[in-house]
Copies of this chain bind each other. A is one copy, B any other.
Amino acid sequence: MKFVLEGVMEFSKPLEPVKLDFPKLVAKEINSELFKKGVPQEQEGSRIVHWAIEGSKLLVTIEGTTYLRPHDAFLRLRNFLSEKFGKDYGIGVRNIFVRDYEIRYTPKKLPKEAIQVKVPWVKSIELKGNEIIIKLQNLDSTALEDRYVERILRRVEEKIDAQAYGGKAEHWELIWKSKEKKPVWDKDPSEEMEKRGWIKRFDVGVWLYTPIPAKILRTMQQIALKEVIKPLKFEEVILPKVTPLEVWLRTGHVPGSSNSFFYVSKPLTYDPEYWEGFADYVKVTNKIPYEELKEKLEAPRAGVCFAQCPPFYWYFEKKSLQEENLPIKVWDASGTSMRWEAGGLHGIERVCEFHRIEIIWLGTKDQAIDIREKLVERYKQIFEKILDIEWRMAWVTPWYMAQAGQVGEAEKEKGTIDFEAWLPFRGSRE
């Protein structure tokens, strides 16, 4: 990797007093000492190849390698000059800024199509021969200190990987399948139940269940409790059903699943006075002014539960766990989760609002894998002996990982197993 950075350092006073000594400083102290620290002796780190002083501004061009990346060198330079000029001349650093930053390297895999990272700091990403040339711009101290550069590079790699694995499609791999079975009934259950008034479509992918189907769902839950949860000694917890986006930021659901959330916003204020005009409008017209309503709300800070696990992980934030307290095995069925999907919604088997049990476990790697295997055994029992359905299981790299660019081979061990059953009304088994 080759890096060329053009940066500006702004000081509290004109740099006239340092001008004379600066060439020596660059040669003797900066390039040969400051920028050598931590760099293996036979390797190149970073060095200032050009500089100029204009009033209270220092303009530098730094070239470097991965052993010391120029933006790290630039931050190091700020601290060094801050101390040196402060002591010797009473001059402080006001501001640092990278106007242009060019990074070129030969990637392990070549991208199949143009890569874009749509943030203000990326000017262009080009492929020339076997080399990727990334041009960055306008990086301020936050961008430099909060590692935007590293994250842009990682994002480029993720996008190359995602392209290699077929972009957004999910990766599917059969593990096991049951024998083919003759269906006892081949109608569409949702259609049939709707006709009888057992279920009713409340909204896109959202259903209301009257007593008979409610009983069926509860019976399924009883089976799960009796056959899986109790014998494997999972304990019930009650997890929140609206998740702050900041929690999802840490679990990777933001941004991975950002297009699928049902976002939750609170009113800007509870004050009834503030809502009086809205209430008047609705009462007089019997219509909801949706766009006006949008302006009366805060920006969304949360979303309806997508998976139950993020609040569970969050519970352990800043806690240290002793190995003797592991594994932790819990389940939650205290509410619904929701996912927005573009298409393919159908009946009660492909929905936006899910009624489900989530089981979560936490342990050493061996414990985690052992529990997974026990669960799979129990599921097999249920599908084969109790439900007697035609089913299969497969490794599936979830699309949120795919979309977030995490689709490498190493993900499989911690990947997802899907249990899929054949719905006879659909005809084809595929």
Chain A residues with CB under 8 Å of chain B are: 116-119, 121, 146, 148, 151-152, 154-155, 158, 168, 200, 202-203, 206-211, 213-215, 217-218, 235-242, 244-246, 249, 254-256, 258-267, 269-272, 274-286, 288, 290-291, 293-294, 297, 299-302, 304, 311-312, 314-315, 330, 334-336, 338, 340-342, 353, 355, 403-404
B304 touches A299 (CB 8 A): no
A353 touches B202 (CB 8 A): no
B-side contacts of A353, CB under 8 Å: 240-242
A271 touches B297 (CB 8 A): no
B-side contacts of A259, CB under 8 Å: 267, 269-272, 274-275
Q: How far is the CA of A218 from the CA of B238 in the complex (A)?
A: 10
B-side contacts of A218, CB under 8 Å: 236
A293 touches B284 (CB 8 A): no
A146 touches B266 (CB 8 A): no
A262 touches B266 (CB 8 A): yes
* Shortest distance between the CB of A110 and any CB in chain B (Å): 20
The 9 closest A-B pairs by CB, nearest first: A118-B277, A255-B279, A270-B342, A335-B335, A209-B238, A290-B299, A211-B235, A255-B282, A294-B299
- Oligomeric state, in copies: 2
A290 touches B300 (CB 8 A): yes
B299 touches A283 (CB 8 A): no
6 A/B residue pairs, CB under 8 Å, sorted by A: A118-B280, A119-B285, A207-B240, A241-B241, A255-B278, A263-B293
* Shortest distance between the CB of A123 and any CB in chain B (Å): 14
* Shortest distance between the CB of A314 and any CB in chain B (Å): 7
Q: Which of B217, B274, B283, B314 is close to A255, meaning CB atoms less than 8 Å apart?
A: B283
B-side contacts of A236, CB under 8 Å: 211, 214-215, 218
Q: Which of B203, B213, B286 is close to A242, meaning CB atoms less than 8 Å apart?
A: B203
A272 touches B241 (CB 8 A): no
Q: Which of B258, B262, B338 is close to A275, meaning CB atoms less than 8 Å apart?
A: B258
Q: How far is the CA of A116 from the CA of B201 in the complex (A)?
A: 40
B-side contacts of A245, CB under 8 Å: 288, 290, 293
A258 touches B278 (CB 8 A): yes
CB-CB under 8 A for A208 and B239, given A119-B281, A286-B249, A288-B254:
yes
* Shortest distance between the CB of A133 and any CB in chain B (Å): 18
A260 touches B255 (CB 8 A): no
Q: Which of B155, B211, B242 is close to A338, meaning CB atoms less than 8 Å apart?
A: B242
A238 touches B277 (CB 8 A): no
* Shortest distance between the CB of A363 and any CB in chain B (Å): 16
B297 touches A291 (CB 8 A): no
CB-CB under 8 A for A238 and B355, given A119-B280, A286-B146, A290-B301:
yes
Give the nearest-CB partner of A275 in chain B. B259
* Shortest distance between the CB of A115 and any CB in chain B (Å): 11
Give the nearest-CB partner of A148 in chain B. B284
Q: Given A213-B238, A240-B336, A258-B278, 12 more contacts at CB 8 Å?
A: A118-B281, A146-B285, A154-B283, A158-B283, A208-B239, A218-B236, A246-B288, A267-B340, A270-B341, A279-B403, A294-B294, A334-B336
A241 touches B336 (CB 8 A): yes
Give the nearest-CB partner of A197 in chain B. B319
* Shortest distance between the CB of A160 and any CB in chain B (Å): 14
B283 touches A242 (CB 8 A): no
* Shortest distance between the CB of A114 and any CB in chain B (Å): 13
Residue among A207, A217, A280, A286 having the largest count of chain B Cβ atoms under 10 Å: A280
CB-CB under 8 A for A206 and B119, given A271-B259, A283-B255:
no
A279 touches B258 (CB 8 A): yes
B-side contacts of A249, CB under 8 Å: 282, 286, 288
CB-CB under 8 A for A300 and B304, given A284-B155, A403-B272:
no
B-side contacts of A293, CB under 8 Å: 245, 258, 263, 299-300
Give the nearest-CB partner of A154 in chain B. B283
